Chains A and B, each alone.
Chain A
Amino acid sequence: MVCVHHAQLLTFPAHRNKQGQTRLSSYYEWMDMQERVALESEIIRKCLSRSELQCSFLEYRGFKVIYRRYASLFFIVGTKADIDVRALDGSGSIAENYENELGLLEFIHSLVETMDRWAGSICELDIMYQLEQVHFLLDEMVMNGYIVETNKSNILRPIDLIDRESKKTEGMFR
């Protein structure tokens, strides 16, 4: 799960399997671990309760939640309106969250495609065994809660470089 502070895209791409266990989460606005766990389990419960015939968006506790399911894995993005903008626009009551739901839904797919290109066909265990690398990949795509890169070659180039270097150093330090 992600989040950003002032920026209004605050996403949490959380990978969760069908039992609702979190496989990866990334926040772009600080939230206590306890809160995260509670929020994640509530949101995944909501997602699990929805059928294929319902839309991929929901609102929960002021979050705009966008989710997409791949077999047993749910990819979830949560966004919240920008606090600064809310204060600015003066109207107060309704905080506009300008995120484009469908755009984020497609972003999830772009993320999955990128992971596929990186590790062949990605599966739950791939993510679990290479948690840190998946984080690196996500860091290339999302910074401060913004989508900074969707060009797969640009994303994977540094990841491959890191990988290559780590193999070198591992040889040295074994």
Chain B
Amino acid sequence: MSGMHLSREFFELIKSIGESKSKQEEDRIIINEIAVLKKKLENDKPGSITTSIPGAPGGGVATGGNTLTTNKKKAREFLVRVLYVEMLGHDGSFGYIKAVELAASQSIVHKRTGYMVCACCLSPDHPFRFMLVNQMQRDLVSSNLLESCGALIAVTNLITPDLVGTVSSQVIGLLDHSAETVRKKAIVALHRLHQLSPDAVPQQEVIEKTRKMLCDRDPAVMGSTLNVIEALARVNVQPFKDLVPSLISILKQICERRLPSEYDYHRIPAPWMQMKIVRILSVIGKNDIQASEGMYEILGDCLRKAEEAGINASNAIVYECIRCITVIYPNPVLLDAAGNSISRFLSSRSQNLRYLGVTGLASIVERHPKYAADHQLAVIECLEDKDDTLLRKTLDLLYRMTNPVNVEFITDRLLHFLRGSTDPYLKKDLTGKICTIAERYAPNNGWYVRTVTELFKIAGDLVDPAVATNLMSLVAEGTGNEDADDEADMLLRKQAVELYVTLLASAPNRMNRVLVETLAWVLGEYGYLSSIMPLDAIIDGMCKLLQSGNTAKLGGGAPSTRRLILSAIMKMVSQYGNCPAAAAKVIDDYTKSSDPDAQKRCLEFQTLLTTAPHMLGEVFPVDASLEDVDVDENLSFLNGLVSEAISSGARPYQRPEDDDDDDMYVGGSLSSETASTFKVTPYEKPTTTYGQGRMAGMGSTNMGPGGNANVTLPPGSGGTSQAAVTPSLPITPAQPQLMMRNVANVWGKQQPPPPPASTPAPVSTPASSGYRGFGAPAPSSYGGFGASSPVPAPAAPVKTAEQLEKERLAAALFGGISTTSQPPPPPPAAVTPQILTAASITPAATPVVAAPISAPAPPVTAPAPAAAAPAPEIDLLDMGSWGADPGPVATAAPSTLDMLAPTPLIQETVAAPPPAAPPAPPAPVPAPASVDPFADAGLLDGYTESAPLPSFGSSDTLGSAKFEFGGVAVAPLVITTPQFGERWGRCPATHPVNVPSSSSASTLSKFMALCERAGLHKVEEIPATNEGIAACMADGGSAVALVHGKVSPLPGGQQSRVDITVKSTDAQLGGTLAMYLQNMIR
């Protein structure tokens, strides 16, 4: 080996580095080495070359006549030593020039060393990179393939965006080189150039070349091209869609061992290529049924073959297949196979495989929650594992399987882990996750406030400021529901206030900025609601907070935080009606503050307090943060004063000509007179600063002209409370309208899965409609509907199940996840007594439980609370706790269904089943009457559209209404209209049904409700033509039935003719479903 021809010096250096015992010792060696190397370079100066003839003086330590310039071998060794210097953390920049020189060497090994050291050491902006371009250009076209390869590697590592054009044509030329080793490097280098400069190497060209290289005769070239395809397809998948057959064929050949055995790794044929292809397939198959269907077979084969081998390399392929299967359009057979592999991983003793099991499970549960249920105990074990990597992945899994039932348990876990973690990336990630699930699945507003406050305590510095804004809006607005919720809103505020009062009393010194600011705002607005601490004590507490000398810690002593606290104190003083001494002192102190804003506020407040204390209530109105602020832009309230002044001889106001500030506001005649001289159009008023400007300047602008406190006040009345929020949280919108939009986000209206209430609402009311979905629990939880029963919130399952430790955890965790993907079919008779009671809770209580559970769950799997789960006692716990609710026990099970989510949300429907007296339609089969509330409420359509299945699927009592096929209820098939159309043509069996007159399906919405009731998924409802389509599947998806219905109202309006066409892949399924529907509609 050439490496063995070492100089003594180099040998000693490596030996001493190798033997060094500490970082300090290593540093000493390197510092010494740097001196030696610099000396060598010194002796190598151009001047010394001439003197370094053998025998001449000045050879120094090293050379005995050979300099770095003349002896390339020495130069190479010199560079390796420089590389060591750099690698061990020291500056070796003195030697870079030698690397550039060496890259121009004739010898390939020297050349490669030169390039390599440059690639390791030269930063992207280093001028030497430019010096290498010429050399690279020459090497690229060299006839020596080793030089071409070296240059391609150098191009990949060293070219900068501005230099791409200088080498791109040569690199493209090398794609046709005769040697595979050059071609495989050239395609990667070309991709690199494209990444660096998409303009110089356009995407189209790279795609074209890549597709060609995929078909290269040499497998190595194909293998390296796969990398490029994956990277490009992740950016833009379209150009690669048609490659599926080629990729499948390649994968097939690899699986069948058609590649030379040199590509095998531990007898697995080309495992990395297999993984790469499967990964590319997952990119292409995502959201593409057609592409997905093409790859099912090969994925199955690939997975099966890999499963058989059972070593690490093959397990890696299995894992890749699992991820692919969960990403592409679902296929039940493959999903089950993936589920089995996940089970095998999870139960493995190898920690690495368990890791893959957990991540694999995380990828599958999001869309197919049923697979989680099989692994309850395994997941709990992973949660208790000592391995923090595994734990972390498990938490990620929990995050993905969160639903309204287990959200409290999971949030607890995540918060717990967050408390103990130090990695900022991890903390940031966890914080975001907690915010997401808290917003999406909060069982009630009180819980949300508590959870977010806890999050602020732990990681307030990492929380998105919008979360704090949302929280404050929530406290201010409550459920956003105008009617009957005042009490609940008040309770929420009270809870929030008491939460913050407790915080204030306990640990004021350890609060971070966002927490302090939220606390200040909430207490400032609603401090008077506190029953655990009198208002003056709270004021004292706030003063202490401000004075505690800890202000530096309050968000780094941000002035805005102090202003917020001051505002809060002022508001509370106003509420209290008297100024405690502590508050007076603080305010007096801050009149001398160096912060002009704080000083201004305090001065104004002092003036107000001394001259017009009775006005305090108007300046700081109670609970008015949501009220519109009327700004009298024309200052019309001054008109009287002005006319009086004019009448007493004053000169009328002349607009100064250069005052363009007010152009926006002044009426047409005046501005056209004056503005014409300078400019034609007025400047646009910067809208973003409007809110801040107004309140920052609030005092000055208004106080100026009036010169007396009374005049100042009105505009400030509502503004003050908002002003308190705005300076620190600039995103807080000043207008209530915007604020409401923020609130809507709290509940993740735009996030999947959508909340139930998607009633098309006017722009101004998304907040309220967004609230309805999840806000529903709040009223009844707090007795808003007159049901004064204890809160039957989903917290209960966790609490009641404290007997068996792990099963308790599992119950908390897996609540809301059914074991089957189908809605629970059991007829009432088969259900245990507990469940019967549970299912027949009082109407008022039902929505509390049912609404949050059913609403956001993924459509395919109804979160079944019922007996379908494998461990009945676990699931019963959920139900039992609801059943334990002391509300009146209704006997008629089906009626509870009508009580589901929409009921308490929509005023009209509440009327139908009065909440106080549980209605008792005795019929076990859904009578037409029980359907009516749905059909009549127009809002319901919106509701069912976004949460089609769960609203029905979650109740066992409706089991009887479900259409069953082969003894198992059908599952809704969630597809879109285009997908429906596509399948329609392919279904062989057709069954038309005509019902000449029907009253139960007299309108389209009633008909659709019936379909959904039967367990079908409503695909689309077309009111314009009175047509609707729905779909379902049976046998785990192997049989599909599609339903098309047209409702033609008959004269008289009470009845309609209904024409139904059922198409199915299975004639028997279609036939029975058609008959079933016919019976139901008659």
A interface residues with partner B (beta carbon < 8 Å):
5-9, 19, 21-22, 24-27, 30, 32-34, 36-37, 50, 53-62, 82, 84-85, 88, 93-94, 98, 100-103, 105-107, 110, 119, 124-125, 128-133, 135-136, 139, 143-144, 146-154, 157-158, 161-163, 165-167, 169-170, 173-174
Contact = CB atoms under 8 A, between A and B. Distances in A.
Contacts of B2: 133, 163, 166-167, 170
Interface stretch (B101-109, B544-552, B605-613, B876-884): B101-109
A149 B110 CA distance: 24
Given A37-B88, A148-B224, A150-B270, 5 more contacts: A132-B109, A133-B1, A146-B188, A148-B188, A150-B223
Given A125-B18, A136-B116, A148-B223, A93 B234 contact: no
Given A30-B123, A151-B262, A158 B149 contact: yes
Given A19-B21, A158-B146, A173-B71, A94 B352 contact: no
Contacts of B352: 55-57, 101-102, 105
A103 B271 contact: yes
A85 B436 CA distance: 22
A100 B360 CA distance: 11
A132 B262 contact: no
Given A6-B195, A146-B224, A147-B272, A132 B14 contact: no
Contact of A55 (B120, B228, B390): B390
Contact of B356 (A24, A101, A135, A158): A101
Nearest to A66: B352
B975 interface: no
Interface string B427-441: 001001000100000
A151 B263 CA distance: 5
Contacts of A26: 120
Contacts of A53: 351, 386-387
B651 interface: no
A65 to B, nearest CB: 9
A119 to B, nearest CB: 7
Contacts of B270: 150
Contacts of A157: 181
A157 B191 CA distance: 24
Contacts of A7: 195, 227, 231
Interface residues of B, number: 95
A166 B107 contact: yes
A61 B1 CA distance: 40
B108 A143 contact: no
Interface string B1-19: 1111110000100100110
Given A128-B14, A150-B263, A166-B109, A135 B116 contact: yes
Contacts of B84: 131
Contacts of A103: 271-272, 275, 313, 316, 319-320
A112 to B, nearest CB: 12
A168 B594 CA distance: 78
Nearest to A104: B316
Interface of B: 1-6, 11, 14, 17-18, 20-23, 26, 71-73, 76, 79-80, 83-84, 86-89, 91, 106-110, 112-113, 116, 120-121, 123-124, 146, 149, 153, 156, 180-181, 184-185, 188-189, 191-192, 195, 220, 223-224, 227-228, 231, 234-235, 260, 262-263, 265, 270-272, 275, 279, 312-313, 315-316, 319-320, 351-352, 354-356, 359, 386-390, 392, 423-426, 429, 432, 436
A146 to B, nearest CB: 4
Contact of A165 (B21, B113, B146): B146
B109 A162 contact: yes
A84 B230 CA distance: 13
Contact of A106 (B71, B156, B312): B312
A148 B71 contact: no
B181 A55 contact: no
A141 B600 CA distance: 68
A158 B181 contact: yes
Given A143-B188, A154-B220, A165 B109 contact: yes
B432 A33 contact: no
Given A22-B88, A167-B2, A85 B235 contact: yes
Nearest to B117: A132
Contacts of B355: 55, 57, 101
Contacts, number: 227
B106 A102 contact: no
A158 B181 CA distance: 8
Nearest to B349: A53
A59 B392 contact: yes
Given A24-B87, A37-B89, A129-B3, A144 B263 contact: no
A162 B71 contact: no
A7 B181 CA distance: 21
21 contacts: A8-B231, A19-B21, A33-B91, A36-B89, A54-B390, A82-B231, A102-B316, A103-B272, A103-B313, A103-B319, A103-B320, A133-B3, A135-B116, A143-B185, A148-B223, A149-B184, A151-B260, A165-B109, A166-B109, A173-B71, A173-B107
A30 B129 CA distance: 13
Contact of B275 (A30, A36, A100, A162): A100
Contacts of A33: 86, 89, 91, 121
A34 B89 contact: yes
Given A7-B227, A146-B188, A88 B234 contact: yes
A88 B188 contact: no
Contacts of A119: 1
A149 B220 contact: yes
A143 B149 CA distance: 11
A27 B158 CA distance: 12
B603 to A, nearest CB: 44
Contacts of B72: 169, 173
A54 B116 contact: no
Contact of A54 (B146, B272, B320, B387): B387
A19 B425 CA distance: 26
Contacts of B83: 131-132
Contacts of A170: 2, 5, 73
B425 A61 contact: yes
A130 B3 contact: yes
Contact of A98 (B195, B279, B432): B279
Nearest to B273: A150
A36 B231 CA distance: 25
The 6 A-B pairs with the shortest beta carbon distances in the complex, nearest first, are A166-B109, A146-B227, A130-B3, A37-B89, A102-B316, A55-B351
A147 B285 CA distance: 23
Contact of B14 (A129, A135, A152): A129
Nearest to B195: A6
B94 to A, nearest CB: 14
Contact of A60 (B262, B265, B423): B423
A130 B108 contact: no
A101 B108 CA distance: 35
A55 B389 contact: yes
A154 B270 CA distance: 13
Contact of B109 (A34, A105, A169): A169
A62 B425 contact: yes
Nearest to A169: B107
Nearest to A120: B1
A130 to B, nearest CB: 4
A110 B188 CA distance: 21
Contacts of B153: 139, 143
Contacts of A166: 2, 107-110
Contacts of B79: 132
Nearest to B425: A62
A150 B272 contact: yes
A70 to B, nearest CB: 15
A146 B316 CA distance: 17
A24 B87 CA distance: 7
Q: Which one of A100, A153, A167, A169 has the highest number of Cβ atoms from chain B below 10 Å of its Cβ?
A: A100
Q: Which one of B3, B86, B354 has the highest number of Cβ atoms from chain A below 10 Å of its Cβ?
A: B3
A102 B319 contact: yes
